[in-house]
Amino acid sequence: MSIFDSSLEPIKRMRRKARERRLLATREVREMLERRFGCDPNVFDHSPLSFRPEVQGAEASRATEGLNSGVGVLIVHGFTGSPHSMRPVAEHFAALGYPVEMPLLAGHGPRWSDMRLTTYRDWLSSVESAYLRLAGEGLQVVVIGLSMGGTLAVNLSARLPVLGTAIINPYVVDVNPLMRHAGVVSRLLPALKSVGSDIAIPGVSEGAYRLTPTASVYQLHLLGAETRKLLPYLKAPVLYLRSLGDHTVSDSSHKYFLEHCSVPVEFRWLTRSYHVATLDYDAEYVLTSLQDFVTAITHDLPPAPTDCITPLPSGPYSIPRLPSSRIGAYPVQRSPQPKGPL
């Protein structure tokens, strides 16, 4: 350092380098998202996705990882969001040859007012219908969910036979104790500000509702209360991806889940992303982690069961005693993600 340099120059130089790394990482992730979406990632596609691989000879069959695995992937988006937030995940597994179902949850889509008329049971029904489409083809199902989609994935996995469950920043515990009173508040205040698009990359959005129906917040509370009771009934291994910079779901959710879940959990930190990690700096790491998880649990997979599908009851839920899944050898792992460019 020269005597002519400012005493703050080393700090300024470090900040410039950090800013350059952030810009580089942002550009790389944006390019990845554009490749995944085939266009600008902020051109929103709220439509559901249902994909089945086409067999085009033995060579093509051997070239795709999921084609002959007997496994289907069910992908669930989050609260006030749409399949747009999970489309990179769905297209990744479709490209690998896995049958994929990614439903649009009831009440979700272009208008926030549509959501006011739905309950959490309607959301569960949307997920179960997609599950039955896969299971009805003799496929064993891996469920992947983001945010409330993770809650729905856990709820489904506790009641129906699944091969594994992967959850990304799931809601488990109320972030605000007033959520339990949202049903009453909704009579006076029908909508709240948006809770979507918590993404670290500047300018990237998940296309969530601009307003959140207050009545739906109460339904989210009811879903969380029911799902917490179901945690002891999980029987398949779980991959839990958690963002350090999440501004939507509190740490109480992952702490509660890890304390009350009785099956093996592979817990991984996402160090560079906010809540919607599938569209954030850790997007590629999320895809790699999900693919590794699915590959690990499908190794030497037994034939898919065809006689143990339990339909969703119309009244209060009863908890079916399902046959044991092959979960004993899957390791519990709580290792942080390797440091990235940020």
DSSP state letters, 136-155 = TTT-EEEEEEETHHHHHHHH
Q: What is the pLDDT of residue 82?
A: 85
Q: Is the pLDDT of residue 103 over 60?
A: yes
**What CA–CA distances, in Å, run from 95 to 45, 113, 126, 191, 291?**
18, 35, 24, 39, 12
Of the listed ranges 47-51, 298-302, 304-308, the one predicted with least confidence: 304-308
Collapsed DSSP state (helix, strand, coil) of residue 115: helix
Calculate the CA 14 to chain-centre distance. Answer: 35
198 Cβ neighbours under 8 A, 6+ residues apart = 246, 247, 248, 274, 275, 276
Q: What is the pLDDT of residue 64?
A: 56
Query: Minimal CA–CA distance to 272: which of 175, 207, 338?
Result: 338
User: Average of pLDDT values for 37-59?
Assistant: 68
Q: What is the pLDDT of residue 189?
A: 82
Confidence of residue 88 (pLDDT cuts 50, 70, 90): very high
Confidence of residue 342 (pLDDT cuts 50, 70, 90): very low
Beta-bridge partner residues of 74? 101, 143
Distance separating alpha carbons of residues 5 and 152, to the nearest angstrom: 58
Tens-place pLDDT, residues 234-282: 999 999 999 999 989 999 999 999 999 989 899 999 999 999 999 999 9
Active site residues: 147, 246, 275
Tens-place pLDDT, residues 16-43: 666 655 655 666 665 665 665 555 555 6
Q: What is the pLDDT of residue 8?
A: 59
Helix intervals (H) in 38-171:
58-63, 87-95, 120-135, 148-159
Distance separating alpha carbons of residues 284 and 79, to the nearest angstrom: 23
User: Average of pLDDT values for 295-303?
Assistant: 73
Q: What is the pLDDT of residue 258?
A: 95
CB 150 within 8 A of CB 169: yes
CB 246 within 8 A of CB 167: no
Q: Tell which wins on pLDDT, 217 or 341.
A: 217
Q: Is the pLDDT of residue 317 over 50?
A: no
Query: Minimal CA–CA distance to 138: which of 301, 326, 304, 311?
Result: 304
The upper half-sphere exposure of residue 168, i.e. CA atoms within 13 Å in the direction of its Cβ, equals 30
CB 84 within 8 A of CB 91: no
CB 241 within 8 A of CB 268: yes
User: Average of pLDDT values for 220-242?
Assistant: 96
Of the listed ranges 14-23, 32-41, 132-141, 167-176, the one predicted with least confidence: 32-41
CB 52 within 8 A of CB 99: yes
141 Cβ neighbours under 8 A, 6+ residues apart = 71, 72, 73, 74, 131, 134, 135, 161, 162, 163
Confidence of residue 160 (pLDDT cuts 50, 70, 90): very high
Stated pTM of the model: 0.76
Q: Tell which wins on pLDDT, 153 or 193.
A: 153
- Strands (E) in the chain, as ranges, are 49-51, 71-76, 100-102, 140-146, 164-168, 191-193, 211-213, 238-243, 265-270, 333-335
336 Cβ neighbours under 8 A, 6+ residues apart = 268, 269, 271
CB 238 within 8 A of CB 165: yes
